[in-house]
Structure 1
Amino acid sequence: MGESMQGLKRSHRCTELSMENIDQKVLVMGWVQKRRDLGGVIFLDLRDRSGVLQVVIDTSTIGADLFKKAEKIRSEFVVAIEGVVEKRSDETINKNIATGEIEIRANDLRLLSEAETPPFQIEENSNVKEELRLKYRYLDLRRPDLQRNLIMRNAVSILTREFLNQEGFLEIETPMLTKSTPEGARDYLVPSRVHPGNFYALPQSPQIFKQLLMLSGYDRYYQIVKCFRDEDLRADRQPEFTQIDMELSFVDVDDVIEINEKLLQKMFKEVLNVDITLPIERLTYEDAMNRFGSDKPDTRFGFELVDLTEVLKDCEFKVFKSAIESGGSVRAINAKGCGDFPRRTIDALGEYAMTFGAKGMAWIVINEDGSYKSVITKFLKDEEIQNIVKSVDGQPGDLILFAADKNDIVYDVLGNLRLEIARRLEILNKDEFKFVWVTEFPLLEWAPEQKRYVAKHHPFTMPMEEDLHLLETDPGKVRAKAYDIVLNGTEIGGGSIRIYQKDVQEKMFECLGFTKEEAYERFGFLLNAFKYGVPPHGGLAYGLDRILMLMTGSDSIRDVIAFPKIKDASCPMTEAPGTVEGKQLEELSLKIDMIEID
């Protein structure tokens, strides 16, 4: 049983007190983090969302009855303490907490709520299994590190709203119950009671609605909004996630990039006191793939890809020769200073490369005396070896790793290998923030299983004007006015300039294999709206959860979301998703008939 709070009014949060409050009478409330009974004196570490404060309960100053009550206190009890702020003696100062120079000497206390022993200790950076922590998420959220994460999330949201409002944006809400449209990920569907057999879809993004708002003349829109995608989860994915979404009228690529650079600069300066130098580096998609093997390159370190196809075009080494003859390439990375990797480590890197499609991994170590250690040098001419070493700027002590295959496999293999080596060398500094824009993405990509082109981003992305003529003759070479903002190898946002001319949109649908009827069936309300005067417009959406994951140094977006789902999209705490009563299904005119899916 807990005591009443009647007549009590908290005067301060724990860490709002300092040396300036010495000799003041205060009243604080919170959870007991730790209790130490020294016989006649009890020390409590009192915790609230602001931090921890030490409380001294001394039988000589609080009285026998209250001291007896204090002896019942255990971890996670909720208490109210009235007392006087005192300076700690020099030898007891705790420099690890903000209130380490002071303590409260209690003269009154109330036990507001008792607590059972929690299933795990409430402490920073807990090693408890995540599934157990998420089952008791309400306890997990008491941890100071998670509380700091959510406090930072609040700060980023407020700052974003303030900045965008000052820049003339309007915050406008868009529907959560909408129509299922193709492209992108799988929709979450909601059955309609009023329209039996019909379904709403939860929005994967507000894309179509924000374009309609531009058509409606609102000029600059934004929203911090929930989005829903029924896709397989990983560290930076959740079935429901939050976007900072925006759209602007009468703009081109540079306008959208410029305003977002100012937002990011302000966000990182005010929240983390990190200076971002503008303008942020820009890489075309082609340059990003050629240099880093990825369209979301981590540019905090080197190990860049080098194309050796020209150097090795006459090579007789079968692996390289067949890759080049089949239209692929031979590329390499120079892992500077990694020539001392043990053979088992190099073999492990080879096995890692094979998980990304490599059939094997060739390598050369440059010994300290300038000689080479490798199983492939005997298949290469001396001149070819020298040209390889020169091309990758090889020095004694370096490790050169090769990939030879179709370009997409080579990029995937070497792009991931450079990251794996950086992880093994522990050179990925979470406190370093390296931004890069990736621009000029391909407009379309070929989907072999569908035997047609699909949109790389979405069907409303504007082609670059100089590539428009290629839509009919060579669609795969058309570049888009699309751009992603990448931070430390994670895509944190992306967007594009949108198509606003009817003839270009029709050509786009034609390239995607839609007849005019199919296009109107799927996107009719947008296409009909576009008959009534459309401004040039474009936008961008950030994954707020991903930004915060990086800002807080977390390993997963689950650590910056209050109540996340686990890998199978379930919630251990609420046990969602769950079954529903038959009556609810009847009201929705639904009957469950489980079918097996291969």
Structure 2
Amino acid sequence: MHAYRSHTCADLTKSNVGDAVRLSGWVHRIRDHGGVLFIDLRDHYGVTQLLCDPDSPVFAQVEKLRSEYCIRIDGSVKARDDSLINAKIPTGEVEVFIRDLEVLGPSAELPLMVFGDQEYPEETRLRYRYLDLRREAMQHNMTLRSDVVASMRRRMWDKGFREYQTPIITASSPEGARDFLVPSRQHPGKFYALPQAPQQFKQLIMVSGFDKYFQIAPCFRDEDPRADRSPTDFYQLDLEMSFVEQQDVFDTIQPVVQGIFEEFGQGAAVDAHWPHISYRDAALWYGTDKPDLRNPIKMQDVSDHFRGSGFAIFAKLLEQDGTEIRAIPAPTGGSRKFCDRMNAFAQKEGLPGMGYIFWRDGENGVEAAGPLAKNIGPERTEAIRLQLGLGKGDAAFFLGGKPSVFERVAGKARTVIGDELGLTDQNRFAFAWIVDFPMYEADEESGKIDFSHNPFSMPQGGLEALNGDPLNVLGYQYDLSCNGYELISGAIRNHKLDIMIKAFELAGYDEAEVRKRFGGMVNAFQYGAPPHGGCAAGIDRIVMLLADTANIREVIMFPMNQRAEDLMMNAPSDPTSDQLMELGLRVIPQE
């Protein structure tokens, strides 16, 4: 017999009754029923119930076992009484009588329990991640992640892509986040960078004549943490193709992502139609460039109904350049109690409040009510109701000013309204391509022009478009949103050197700096660069959605905490003086 097991803890069935077996695993739970000990033995595959009574030669040893001891047992398989069958597990018809026992690894007192659904502080879970990972939900999440990655690889190979690896140690590149720098021992005073993405290398692969590339790529960004973003590193399905237009990329990646969600979505509906929504429309309708289309609410511009109206706050606001009034329809939200609750929500978000109108039965049919309705009169409120397609029992909420100021809150309000009124379909994955991103944005304080998205994208209209106002230039850039999260980002690349140099010039990089910082690409583009494009899908975020969790750390095996610390491995740590001396570095103490 094998040194540790003849079967896993998920293998035994009624057909094994009478067999002598050997199992290894962890003590999941112990129950003492009047001197008869029952132990749930757990391994990665499942749970088997063990039985031990005073007739067993190792009863005294079994009595000393505690939760999470790692043990090996020999025993004989017995059928459970019909009344004691556990139909919830594959081994529920049998139990194993223990005849021999070896403790492979005793356990100290546990800082968190593996059995049960107790909640523990995240700091505790991350410090003892190896225990946290033993829990059923975490075993499921990590297995799911592995299966998703394997399925992605198969699907990409089936589409004629090959996987190529790109360097981990490279040069710094502006990708929209801070680099992790790595000091060079052999070149004192100089630094490598960990790649924020394989962007330049995958483009160079296309220049090298490889028609299709993909990679399950690690990416490193020194970012401020969020629930849906790792502060240090993440993985993406990275791909690039030559001789393609934007729609070709969409047609390639949609079946891969849609297939993943159909395969692992646990029965949730997966939309097959992925609409194309311009960045401008997404901001207007949803208040975000990653809309949740499960929520049917679309915001609308209703500025004309408030110009010169009796509601002085909005009327005066609209006299200023760049201002507008937006309405958030709220079907079935037409109660004063709900409207007051949403007004309080806006105040918590830092706004003075949120105006509202709700419609109810009146003497002459549907009647508008609320402070706004009294100020602007029945003709204007009726025109608003008709524009928004609302009726009795419905409401609308209003925010005004410069969109850049209120858009974020408007988007959050739309989400809250959809959730609270039960309008959002929770059992569905809804996708949308967000297209026509602006190439550039201006800093609100300094007015400085910078890239708003990927700096290596092809501007729509080519070189000619770059001769006008930079803020009007659109790029062949696109994101895929799903249920309120950005899953994919990509672009058709700028493969023409003159356009690339001009594009960077508008963002404040002169030609000499472009040639210095991106010398590899600049040189390569002189030798017949093909048109190419691609995208990258965030694996961590995809698995997060499939696992039905809003915290990305639930699907990463060994994540950092929100302060970018690894509590288990004590990172970041202080370097030794020898390490610093070897690198020619000195740490200046923080005051």
Q: Place the TM-score, normalised by the shorter chain, in its bin.
A: over 0.9
* Alpha-carbon offset, residue 187 of structure 1: 0.8
Q: Is the 8 A contact 1:485 1:493 kept in 2?
A: yes
Q: How does 1:308-323 map to 2 (within 5 A)?
A: 308-323=302-317
* Alpha-carbon offset, residue 59 of structure 1: 3.1
Identify the residue that residue 267 of structure 1 maps to in structure 2: 260
Identify the residue that residue 569 of structure 2 maps to in structure 1: 574
1:235 aligned counterpart, secondary structure = coil
Alignment partner of 1:151 is 2:147:
no
* Alpha-carbon offset, residue 374 of structure 1: 1.9
Identify the residue that residue 3 of structure 1 maps to in structure 2: none
Q: 334-343 or 378-387, which moves further after superposition?
A: 334-343
2:40 equivalent among 35, 41, 45: 45
1:29 aligned counterpart, secondary structure = strand
The residue type equivalent to 2:284 in the other structure is N
Alignment partner of 1:185 is 2:177:
yes
Distance 1:350 1:199 in 2: 46
Q: 494-503 or 165-174, which moves further after superposition?
A: 165-174
2:334 aligned counterpart, secondary structure = coil
Identify the residue that residue 249 of structure 1 maps to in structure 2: 242
> What do the CA deviations read for 1:528-574 (whole angstroms, capped 9, x no partner)?
11111111111111111111111001121101111111111011112
> What do the CA deviations read for 1:425-469 (whole angstroms, capped 9, x no partner)?
56656542111211121222222345332222222101223x753
Distance 1:432 1:85 in 2: 44
Q: Is the 8 A contact 1:225 1:245 kept in 2?
A: yes
Alignment CA distance shift 1:163-1:184 (3 Å)? same
Distance 1:230 1:435 in 2: 28
Distance 1:214 1:329 in 2: 45
1:44 aligned counterpart, secondary structure = strand
Identify the residue that residue 345 of structure 1 maps to in structure 2: 341
Q: Is the 8 A contact 1:454 1:512 kept in 2?
A: yes
1:244 aligned counterpart, secondary structure = strand
Q: Is the 8 A contact 1:319 1:404 kept in 2?
A: no
Distance 1:593 1:433 in 2: 50
Alignment CA distance shift 1:345-1:540 (3 Å)? same
Distance 1:286 1:252 in 2: 21
Q: Which structure 2 residue ranges, 5 or more long, are not aligned?
A: none
Identify the residue that residue 5 of structure 2 maps to in structure 1: 10
Distance 1:70 1:186 in 2: 55
Identify the residue that residue 54 of structure 1 maps to in structure 2: 49
Q: How does 1:385-404 map to 2 (within 5 A)?
A: 385-404=381-400
1:376 aligned counterpart, secondary structure = helix
Identify the residue that residue 529 of structure 1 maps to in structure 2: 524
The residue type equivalent to 2:247 in the other structure is D
Distance 1:280 1:20 in 2: 49
* Alpha-carbon offset, residue 100 of structure 1: 2.5
The residue type equivalent to 2:393 in the other structure is G
2:435 equivalent among 414, 434, 439: 439
Alignment CA distance shift 1:219-1:332 (3 Å)? same
Q: Which structure 1 residue ranges, 5 or more long, are not aligned?
A: 1-5
Q: How does 1:155-554 map to 2 (within 5 A)?
A: 155-238=147-230, 239-272=232-265, 274=267, 276-326=270-320, 327-340=322-335, 341-342=337-338, 345-354=341-350, 358-369=351-362, 370-425=366-421, 431-465=427-461, 469-554=464-549
Q: Is the 8 A contact 1:182 1:522 kept in 2?
A: no
Distance 1:267 1:343 in 2: 40
Q: How does 1:55-204 map to 2 (within 5 A)?
A: 55-60=50-55, 63=56, 65-123=57-115, 125-204=117-196
Q: Is the 8 A contact 2:343 2:353 kept in 1?
A: no
Distance 2:47 2:446 in 1: 59
Q: Is the 8 A contact 1:261 1:279 kept in 2?
A: no
> What do the CA deviations read for 1:481-539 (whole angstroms, capped 9, x no partner)?
11111110100111011011222212212322222112212222211111111111111
1:381 aligned counterpart, secondary structure = helix
1:473 aligned counterpart, secondary structure = coil
* Alpha-carbon offset, residue 383 of structure 1: 0.9
1:380 aligned counterpart, secondary structure = helix
Distance 1:428 1:125 in 2: 28
Q: 242-251 or 7-16, which moves further after superposition?
A: 7-16
1:472 aligned counterpart, secondary structure = coil
Q: 365-374 or 387-396, which moves further after superposition?
A: 365-374
The residue type equivalent to 1:565 in the other structure is M
Distance 1:267 1:433 in 2: 11
* Alpha-carbon offset, residue 12 of structure 1: 2.0
Identity %: 39
Q: Is the 8 A contact 1:331 1:410 kept in 2?
A: no
Q: Is the 8 A contact 2:181 2:193 kept in 1?
A: yes
1:245 aligned counterpart, secondary structure = strand
Alignment CA distance shift 1:323-1:86 (3 Å)? farther
* Alpha-carbon offset, residue 344 of structure 1: 5.2
Distance 2:271 2:330 in 1: 28
Q: Is the 8 A contact 1:446 1:453 kept in 2?
A: yes
The residue type equivalent to 1:475 in the other structure is P
1:28 aligned counterpart, secondary structure = strand
Distance 1:182 1:316 in 2: 50
2:397 aligned counterpart, secondary structure = strand
Distance 2:524 2:229 in 1: 33
Runs of 4+ in structure 1 off by over 4 angstroms are 425-430
Q: 6-15 or 575-584, which moves further after superposition?
A: 6-15
Distance 1:559 1:91 in 2: 37
Q: Is the 8 A contact 1:43 1:55 kept in 2?
A: yes
Distance 2:574 2:314 in 1: 56
Alignment CA distance shift 1:352-1:425 (3 Å)? farther
* Alpha-carbon offset, residue 20 of structure 1: 4.2
Alignment CA distance shift 1:420-1:254 (3 Å)? same
1:160 aligned counterpart, secondary structure = helix
2:229 aligned counterpart, secondary structure = coil
* Alpha-carbon offset, residue 330 of structure 1: 0.7
Q: 83-92 or 552-561, which moves further after superposition?
A: 83-92
* Alpha-carbon offset, residue 376 of structure 1: 2.3
Q: 508-517 or 136-145, which moves further after superposition?
A: 508-517
Distance 2:248 2:476 in 1: 12
Alignment CA distance shift 1:366-1:569 (3 Å)? same
Q: How does 1:14-33 map to 2 (within 5 A)?
A: 14-33=9-28
Q: Is the 8 A contact 1:159 1:267 kept in 2?
A: yes
The number of equivalent residue pairs is 584
1:227 aligned counterpart, secondary structure = strand
1:154 aligned counterpart, secondary structure = helix
Distance 1:293 1:576 in 2: 38
2:559 equivalent among 552, 556, 564: 564
Q: Is the 8 A contact 1:468 1:478 kept in 2?
A: no
* Alpha-carbon offset, residue 33 of structure 1: 0.9
